[in-house]
Structure 1
Amino acid sequence: MIKFFAPGEDGLQQSDVATQNVVWIDLHAPTPEEETLAEQIAGVDVPSRSEMAEIEETARLYKDGEALYMTAVIVTGASGSRPPVSADVTFVLTRRHLVTIRYADPSPFRKFAAHCAMQPGQCGTSELILLSLLETVVARVADILETGDTTLDELSAALFQNGDVEQASLKPAAWRPSPSAGGPPNLKAVLRKIGRVGALEAKLRQSLLTVSRLVGFFRQSDPGKGLALEHLARLVEIERDIRSLSEHSAQQSASVSFLLEATLGMIDIEQNEIIKVFSIAAVLFLPPTLVGTVYGMNFDNMPELHWTFGYPFALLLMVASTVVPYVWLKRRGWL
């Protein structure tokens, strides 16, 4: 899919046909014909999907003539039901055009037209569109991190305050225990939730790293020095936001590790409690089993076999051998 955007009175105007004043060409999972059309309009080479997936920094950030080629990782699907994924997005910047190549549909791209409608003066050139796109991406990362903080706070309250995970203020469906699950089902749900938050946080950290490198490369390689001082200040502000979010992400990673260790510790405690119950039950029933075993032997010289009160005496001895250990354990505080 190919979309063309040209500046208008109300921000960027989308069109399916290229016009003379088009400044942004958005390629979403393009066909070879769409790639060729974008190359003819912008006068640049559109990188392939395999070239976008290169992990070397020199393959992600480079200059070819007057065009800047910049690839960043953007997280998509963070608020959906499916697991979030990291998608490579390439920005090809020239003096007149911005070409974006992507094979996913991140939220910042879907909401960018509305963002430009509110601030039409910041989307008039290719450089300004790139700046606004980066601001939207960083703002989206901040929103996802805030959601992660809320989730971690709920998990912390469930583990350390409410005493029962299922009483936490979370969606019931996410905490419904599986009938076939072994062990404490509520804590297994906590582990899954912590795992999802940790995996998403790792993807966001990777995204922030690539965007930070992109911003630094763009600031040093501004084509034609076309950015005014106020727009250079926006770049500095974006870099400051990225550093702040990176620190926040590191703190969130530490919280995830702490909650993970705490949950595993509580699982161990619950398992120890179960083993404790079986151990105490074995201690309580061992003496009466011994009494029953002794009087179950059929030897000739056993005076209790012919005793009238032998059976009640054996029963009373079994009960006493159970009650005495129970009282002793109770007084020691083991029950």
Structure 2
Amino acid sequence: MQENTVMSAQLDAQQLPRQGWLRVRASDRVMLDAIFRQYGLALGRPIKHAVEEHGFVLLPLDLPLPDREPEAAEGASFSSAQILIAFTSDLLITVEPDHPIEALRRAQNRFGATGEVPESRDALIVILEELNDAMQETVAQISQVLTNLADQAVDSSGGFKMEGRQVGVADIAQTAILLGGAEELIARTVQGQLMLERAARWVRRSGGDLTLDYSTALSDIQGGRRHARFQHAKVRNIQQSLMTTLDLKQNQIIKVFTVVTAVFTPPTLIAAYYGQNFANMPELALPWGEWFVMGTTALFALVPLAYIKRKGWLR
């Protein structure tokens, strides 16, 4: 079976192949119209679930794949790759986004190594394997991001930043926001792995013998999904740690205000007493009366402080 990777400028509707792999850009309306006229497939519309039309099986994929752009090399950056696959036992059609997808290029290179495209379902298994490998790279980058966020969570619970400023609630909130973004990305990754697994099962359902190892490909996809869910568990653990730290910091703030209130309440009562306009206050006439009041105020402030310290409430 000869390789068929076709651009709309090279073929018209009468020349579209009946065998091989036909790659189409989602923005190429001319080619999509030609496919509709020749095969009866309307591939330009949104398709949410796997369906069978005109002898083809249509499989939508929405995968968060890592970017390959130079400016994204130092950090984790991902883009959504929406791919529509239509296949029969003879022909494989992929409707791809305008930006190039590295996994599909690798799959095409694997075919080029032998000089021919295998039977369409075997070709689809190769494509699913490459897409699964790309998803594994996504999970690996997410894992690195989570490692960095875990370090931030440790700093948040540990005390002080490099400049000596104590880590506060705002720092914890920023880490929590980043964790929320990571959790959303992991959820999309798990959904993408489920789409790949469903596509692999449809290949098996379509019948016929497969020369490639279908079971290995399906196991790899399922293993990738388990890995993604493990990362989701890591997110939940870090979030739980942050929430515990936040509760402790809030309790610490409340404890400080409670101690301050307990220490200054007795002096406040004394000040309120001597602020009254009584007609006769004999201690005011004593030469040491002022020192007596000051000492009494200090004593009443230190007594609750000593009691709180003895109970260990200052730790």
Q: TM-score range by the shorter chain?
A: 0.7 to 0.9
1:45-69, Cα deviation, whole Å (9 max, x unpaired):
133323x1x34xxxx132532x332
Moved more, 309-318 or 75-84: 75-84
In 1, are the aligned partners of 2:62 and 2:83 still within 8 Å (CA)?
A: yes
* Counterpart check, 1:112 vs 2:104: yes
Amino acid at match of 1:136: E
Amino acid at match of 1:258: N
Spell out the pairing of 1:278-289 with structure 2 (5 A cutoff).
278-289=257-268
Q: Supply the distance in 1 between the matched residues of 2:287 and 2:98 (Cα, whole angstroms).
A: 88
Amino acid at match of 1:64: H
1:219-278, Cα deviation, whole Å (9 max, x unpaired):
2214xx3x553x1x1x22111012212222333222222222221121111011011111
Task: Identify the residue that residue 244 of structure 2 maps to in structure 1.
Answer: 265
Q: 2:142 aligns with which of 144, 148, 164?
A: 148
Q: CA deviation at 1:204?
A: 1.1
SS at match of 1:48: coil
* Counterpart check, 1:99 vs 2:99: no
Q: Supply the distance in 1 between the matched residues of 2:283 and 2:228 (Cα, whole angstroms).
A: 76
Q: 1:32 aligns with which of 29, 40, 46?
A: 29
Q: Supply the distance in 2 between the matched residues of 1:132 and 1:165 (Cα, whole angstroms).
A: 50
Q: TM-score, normalised by structure 2?
A: 0.80
Q: CA deviation at 1:104?
A: 6.5
Q: Supply the distance in 2 between the matched residues of 1:123 and 1:82 (Cα, whole angstroms).
A: 36
* Counterpart check, 1:62 vs 2:52: yes
Q: Supply the distance in 2 between the matched residues of 1:34 and 1:47 (Cα, whole angstroms).
A: 10
Q: 1:136 aligns with which of 124, 130, 140?
A: 130
In 2, are the aligned partners of 1:25 and 1:38 still within 8 Å (CA)?
A: no
SS at match of 1:46: coil
Q: CA deviation at 1:117?
A: 3.1
Q: Which ranges of structure 2 fall in alignment gaps of 5 or more residues?
A: none
Change in Cα spacing, 1:63 to 1:46, as seen in structure 2 (3 Å) is: closer
In 2, are the aligned partners of 1:155 and 1:190 still within 8 Å (CA)?
A: yes
Task: Identify the residue that residue 174 of structure 1 maps to in structure 2.
Answer: none
1:94-144, Cα deviation, whole Å (9 max, x unpaired):
355322124564x7x234324533662386244444222211111111112
Q: Supply the distance in 1 between the matched residues of 2:90 and 2:78 (Cα, whole angstroms).
A: 34
Q: CA deviation at 1:160?
A: 4.5
Spell out the pairing of 1:118-197 with structure 2 (5 A cutoff).
120-121=113-114, 124-125=117-118, 126-160=120-154, 163-164=157-158, 184-197=169-182
* Counterpart check, 1:208 vs 2:187: no
Task: Identify the residue that residue 249 of structure 1 maps to in structure 2.
Answer: 228
Amino acid at match of 2:272: T
Q: Supply the distance in 2 between the matched residues of 1:87 and 1:112 (Cα, whole angstroms).
A: 11
* Counterpart check, 1:237 vs 2:216: yes
Report the count of equivalent residues: 299
Q: 2:281 aligns with which of 302, 307, 311?
A: 302
Amino acid at match of 2:62: V
Q: Supply the distance in 1 between the matched residues of 2:156 and 2:36 (Cα, whole angstroms).
A: 60
Identity of aligned residues (%): 21
Q: Supply the distance in 1 between the matched residues of 2:24 and 2:33 (Cα, whole angstroms).
A: 11
Q: Supply the distance in 1 between the matched residues of 2:210 and 2:305 (Cα, whole angstroms).
A: 83
In 2, are the aligned partners of 1:71 and 1:89 still within 8 Å (CA)?
A: yes
Q: Supply the distance in 2 between the matched residues of 1:196 and 1:104 (Cα, whole angstroms).
A: 25
Amino acid at match of 1:121: T
Q: Which ranges of structure 1 fall in alignment gaps of 5 or more residues?
A: 1-5, 169-176, 178-182
SS at match of 1:75: strand
Q: CA deviation at 1:214?
A: 1.1
Moved more, 17-26 or 314-323: 17-26
In 2, are the aligned partners of 1:122 and 1:128 still within 8 Å (CA)?
A: no
SS at match of 1:259: helix
Change in Cα spacing, 1:166 to 1:103, as seen in structure 2 (3 Å) is: farther
Q: Supply the distance in 1 between the matched residues of 2:218 and 2:153 (Cα, whole angstroms).
A: 36
Q: TM-score, normalised by structure 1?
A: 0.75
Amino acid at match of 1:124: V
Moved more, 131-140 or 318-327: 318-327
SS at match of 2:278: coil
Task: Identify the residue that residue 17 of structure 1 maps to in structure 2.
Answer: 10
In 1, are the aligned partners of 2:149 and 2:175 still within 8 Å (CA)?
A: yes
